[in-house]
């Protein structure tokens, strides 16, 4: 390959990467639709950072390819040395800046500093809403149930183990709305004798605050809900609260994704609420986002979003019966 050929190859590869990037939203290679109240903030920051980095990526790669083409060795001169301060034609308008090295160094220090400062300040409130416990709200769905739904999630190689309240405890919570935290105040943090354990299925209901108390029984894992724009490492010896809620179904797209399947005798997920049919856009995965061992690739759960707390309770009743069948009556 001639020396100029290399610059063409580099240019083509870069262009192909860029085109691949550009078409990925239509190929299903992009982030899934955000369905939680965190999504707007997170997506805004993601796109701001993406556009800034894309701009500079294209700029620098284009210059590299251009310089490779322009200064490709010809084989005639063994040690090409620039002996003049001549700039090539297309850089003539910039000679003023380029000639004075001090000014160009100021520019490439100052511009990135401004961009980094902007990103640093722009992310403050999104981070606070997702991570500061003071921002953890008690969630209201349309039924005005006071407290958040609390779920204990413990990770281990290689599954997510979800701990739910018993039906009796859940009913007490629903009835005792004047004091919503009383029955459930310590639930998330403290296992109870009547808890119901379910593996890899996180059941919640629409537009109601969920607080997951995340622990791990062995190594580091990372609890990742791509559709909810939530990601939190599980650290050995620590219990970390993670909260989120789906968008208001009245104002936003419907987020419910489960229904009872009579043939399978279980709630199935991945159901488009508009059509009632299976739709991959309504599968809400819970992948582990921290390489945690040989079975990391298969450590994946699903989020089931129910219509309301009544449907959630119906599922819980069935899950509890199943759990007791497997573990024996208490």
Q: What x/- string results for residues 16 through 45 when contact with Cu ion is judged by CB under 5 A?
A: ------------------------------
* Residue 288 contacts Cu ion per CB under 5 A: yes
Shorter beta-carbon distance to Cu ion: residue 214 or 292: 292
Q: How far is the CB of 30 from Cu ion (least distance, A)?
A: 24
Q: Which two tokens stand for residue 28?
A: 């299903």
State which of residues 203, 221, 245, 256 lies at the interface with Cu ion (CB under 5 A): 221
How far apart (Å, rounded) are the C-alpha atoms in residues 72 and 208? Answer: 62
Please tell me the number of Cα atoms within 13 Å of 56 on its side-chain side.
9
* Residue 183 contacts Cu ion per CB under 5 A: no
**Binding segment for Cu ion among 67-75, 86-94, 239-247, 285-293 (CB under 5 A)?**
285-293
* Residue 230 contacts Cu ion per CB under 5 A: no
Q: How far is the CB of 319 from Cu ion (least distance, A)?
A: 23
**Binding segment for Cu ion among 54-62, 95-103, 281-289, 322-330 (CB under 5 A)?**
281-289
**Binding segment for Cu ion among 118-126, 239-247, 270-278, 296-304 (CB under 5 A)?**
296-304
Shorter beta-carbon distance to Cu ion: residue 37 or 222: 222
CA nearest to 24, candidates 54, 60, 61: 54
* Residue 299 contacts Cu ion per CB under 5 A: yes
Which whole-number Å values give the CA distances from 213 to 14, 16, 33, 155, 184, in the listed order?
44, 43, 25, 11, 13
* Residue 153 contacts Cu ion per CB under 5 A: no
Shorter beta-carbon distance to Cu ion: residue 171 or 218: 218
Q: How far is the CB of 308 from Cu ion (least distance, A)?
A: 32
For 291-304, the three-class secondary structure string (H helix, E strand, C coil) is CCCCCHHHCEEEEE
* Residue 234 contacts Cu ion per CB under 5 A: no
Hey, how many other C-beta atoms are within 10 angstroms of the C-beta on 155? 27
**Binding segment for Cu ion among 11-19, 85-93, 259-267, 283-291 (CB under 5 A)?**
283-291
- Residue 207 in contact with residue 254, Cβ under 8 Å? no
Q: How far is the CB of 194 from Cu ion (least distance, A)?
A: 28
Q: Give the binding site for Cu ion (CB under 5 A).
A: 221, 288, 292, 299
């Amino acid at each position: 390959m001639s020396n100029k050929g290399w610059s063409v190859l580099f240019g083509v590869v870069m262009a192909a990467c860029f085109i691949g990037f550009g078409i990925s939203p239509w190929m299903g290679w992009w982030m899934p639709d955000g369905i939680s109240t965190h999504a707007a903030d997170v997506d805004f920051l993601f796109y701001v950072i993406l556009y800034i980095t894309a701009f500079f990526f294209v700029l620098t790669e284009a210059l590299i390819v251009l310089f490779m083409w322009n200064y490709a060795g010809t084989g005639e001169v063994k040690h090409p040395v620039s002996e003049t301060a001549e700039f090539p034609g297309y850089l003539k308008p910039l000679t003023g800046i380029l000639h004075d090295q001090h000014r160009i160094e100021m520019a490439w220090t100052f511009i990135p500093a401004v961009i980094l400062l902007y990103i640093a300040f722009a992310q403050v409130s999104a981070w606070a809403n997702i991570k500061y416990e003071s921002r953890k709200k008690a969630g209201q769905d349309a039924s005005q149930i006071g407290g958040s739904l609390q779920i204990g999630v413990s990770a281990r190689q290689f599954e997510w183990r979800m701990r739910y309240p018993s039906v009796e405890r859940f009913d007490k919570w629903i009835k005792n709305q004047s004091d919503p935290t009383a029955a459930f105040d310590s639930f998330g943090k403290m296992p109870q004798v009547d808890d119901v354990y379910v593996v890899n299925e996180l059941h919640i209901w629409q537009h109601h605050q969920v607080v997951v108390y995340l622990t791990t029984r062995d190594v580091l894992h990372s609890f990742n809900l791509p559709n909810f724009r939530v990601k939190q490492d599980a650290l050995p010896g620590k219990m970390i609260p993670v909260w989120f809620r789906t968008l208001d179904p009245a104002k936003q797209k419907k987020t419910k994704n489960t229904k009872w399947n009579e043939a399978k005798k279980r709630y199935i997920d991945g159901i488009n609420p508009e059509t009632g049919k299976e739709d991959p856009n309504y599968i809400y995965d819970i992948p582990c986002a921290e390489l945690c061992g040989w079975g990391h690739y298969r450590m994946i759960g699903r989020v089931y979003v129910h219509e309301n707390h009544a449907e959630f309770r119906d599922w819980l009743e069935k899950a509890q019966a199943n759990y007791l069948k497997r573990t024996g009556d208490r």
